[in-house]
């Protein structure tokens, strides 16, 4: 019985730190924030890539059924399942609880509209990151609230910095990146992006790299347009930025090209392996 009491006594102190968002554990951890980060890590992968012609978003989406009511065509470049337009020059991709994302995306749109109305100029992307992260961080200090279980990739363009990509996490941290992945297998995706990303990439190069990465993270040999969501924030010289979500028909040629590149790489690796074994 003494050993049982000892075990019970050891277990009790962990409980309040485990259930409250605003109480540190003795080793300096906020468990609820860690759980929120963990929930993002179990979500389907989403990634962003900055290219010379725009920012590419690609995400894995759930399997469609014949009963799903497809969104009206005139709204297809406004919101998808994992990618959303915030303003003319800002778009986001998400991983985690999409209900939490909807709340923050609506807030983001209001922030962007209010800034433009007040100052007569587009909202800087980093200002939006700071506002969103202030909101995410604030709930980690309030009793009775849980952290937002969502991570964002924020793509933007402005005349000072050109194309930009930011990442935010449930704790309220954010960073700027050239390419970044969130969700399941983000470590594998990040390693591939680090190896293959180039500063001179075109938008087409970015889409093909995104498909290559998702082919690995989704653990499938055949990419299906119905399981993918790809979008690009681009801008032609002298024009306003435009956000485009690819249709299945628009995405199909890219998938075919990505498949050809994958087979070519495999053949080159096999030839190199045979050459090495021949030397031995």
Report how many domains make up the chain: 1
pLDDT higher than threshold 70 for residue 214: yes
User: In this structure, what CATH number is given to the domain that contains residue 259?
Assistant: 3.60.20.10
Phi then psi dihedrals of residue 76, to 5 deg: -65, -25
What's the confidence (pLDDT) of residue 73? 62
Tell me the pLDDT tens digit for each residue of 202-213: 999 999 999 999
Give residue for tokens 């995405």: 251
CB-facing half-sphere around the CA of 87: CA atoms within 13 A: 25
Residue 8: inside a domain? no
Angle between the N-to-C axes of helices 125-138 and 98-119, in degrees from 0 to 180, rounded to the nearest 10: 130
Residue 205: inside a domain? yes
Residue 138: inside a domain? yes
pLDDT > 70: what percent of the chain? 89
Report d(CA 277, CA 87) in Å as an integer: 56
Give residue for tokens 């303003």: 87
For the segment 194-201, the average pLDDT, to the nearest whole number, is: 96
pLDDT higher than threshold 70 for residue 280: no
pTM: 0.88
For the segment 108-117, the average pLDDT, to the nearest whole number, is: 97
For the segment 147-165, the average pLDDT, to the nearest whole number, is: 96
Domain extent at residue 209: 31-62+75-272
């Amino acid at each position: 019985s003494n050993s049982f009491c000892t075990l019970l006594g050891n277990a009790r102190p962990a409980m309040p730190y485990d259930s409250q968002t605003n109480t540190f554990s003795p080793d300096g951890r906020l468990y609820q924030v860690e759980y929120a980060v963990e929930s993002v890590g179990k979500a389907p992968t989403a990634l962003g890539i900055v290219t010379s012609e725009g920012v590419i978003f690609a995400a894995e989406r759930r399997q469609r059924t014949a009963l799903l009511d497809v969104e009206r065509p005139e709204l297809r470049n406004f919101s998808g399942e994992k990618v959303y337009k915030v303003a003319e020059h800002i778009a986001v991709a998400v991983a985690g609880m999409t209900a939490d994302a909807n709340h923050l995306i609506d807030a983001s749109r209001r922030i962007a509209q209010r800034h433009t109305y007040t100052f007569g100029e587009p909202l800087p992307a980093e200002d939006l990151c700071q506002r969103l992260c202030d909101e995410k961080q604030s709930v980690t200090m309030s009793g009775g609230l849980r952290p937002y279980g969502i991570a964002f990739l924020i793509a933007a363009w402005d005349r000072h910095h050109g194309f930009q990509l930011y990442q935010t996490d449930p704790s309220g941290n954010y960073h700027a990146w050239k390419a970044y992945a969130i969700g399941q297998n983000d470590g594998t995706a990040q390693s591939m992006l680090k190896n293959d990303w180039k500063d001179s990439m075109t938008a087409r190069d970015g889409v093909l790299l995104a498909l290559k990465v998702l082919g690995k993270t989704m653990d499938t040999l055949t990419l299906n347009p119905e399981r993918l969501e790809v979008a690009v924030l681009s801008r032609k010289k002298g024009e306003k930025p435009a956000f485009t979500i690819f249709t299945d028909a628009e995405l199909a040629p890219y998938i075919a090209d990505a498949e050809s590149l994958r087979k070519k790489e495999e053949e080159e690796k096999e030839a190199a392996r045979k050459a090495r074994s021949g030397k031995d």
